[in-house]
């Protein structure tokens, strides 16, 4: 990859590292080339004010591109589900716990042990959901052909 010439191009190059690696490998050269050409055109046509308008448009475009490319990878969905599933399960368990006729005394050591067991169960649910969802979403990536 070539090194960018202007400070704007260096900032654009640095912002590209926020994109997913596959996208960056495939399109970074082209993005930087188009960025340089558009920057030179904006600088020649409108001067300083046009350059600031160009920078604002490029920041917005890069932000949209970064968000869109990460959403296409599926990782935000997987992370959201890995967080929501165990929290929902823990909430359901807590709701069920409140409806049980059984009452634990508050001042005993058994209640502390029970709370520790519940906390461990929630942590295990989060870990299990993360592993399951990671395997589910990365399965197509594991079996695709290398180019």
Q: Domains of the chain: which residue ranges?
A: 7-73, 75-143
**For residues 143 and 85, what is the distance between their CA atoms, to the nearest angstrom?**
26
Q: Is the dihedral of CA 69, 75, 79, 81 positive or negative?
A: positive
Q: What is the model's pTM?
A: 0.54
The per-residue pLDDT for 146 is 52
The per-residue pLDDT for 6 is 79
Q: What is the pLDDT of residues 32-45, one digit of tens each?
A: 999 999 888 888 88
The per-residue pLDDT for 143 is 59
Mean pLDDT is highest, among 12-16, 45-49, 91-95, 130-134, for 12-16
Centre a 10 Å sphere on the Cβ of residue 117 and count the other Cβ atoms it contains.
10
Q: Is-contact 86 125, C-beta < 8 A?
A: yes
């Amino acid at each position: 990859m070539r090194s960018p010439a202007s400070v704007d191009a260096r900032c654009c190059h640095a912002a590209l590292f926020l994109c997913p690696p596959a996208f960056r490998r495939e399109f970074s050269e082209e993005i930087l080339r188009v960025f340089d050409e558009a920057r030179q055109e904006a600088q020649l046509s409108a001067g300083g004010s046009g350059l600031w308008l160009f920078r604002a448009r490029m920041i917005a475009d890069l932000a949209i591109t970064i968000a869109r490319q990460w959403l296409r990878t599926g990782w935000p969905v997987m992370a959201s589900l890995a967080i929501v599933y165990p929290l929902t399960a823990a909430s359901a368990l807590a709701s069920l716990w409140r409806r049980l006729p059984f009452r634990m005394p508050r001042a005993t050591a058994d209640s502390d042990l029970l709370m520790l067991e519940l906390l461990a169960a929630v942590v295990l649910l989060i870990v299990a959901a993360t592993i399951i969802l990671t395997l589910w979403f990365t399965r197509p990536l594991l079996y695709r052909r290398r180019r």
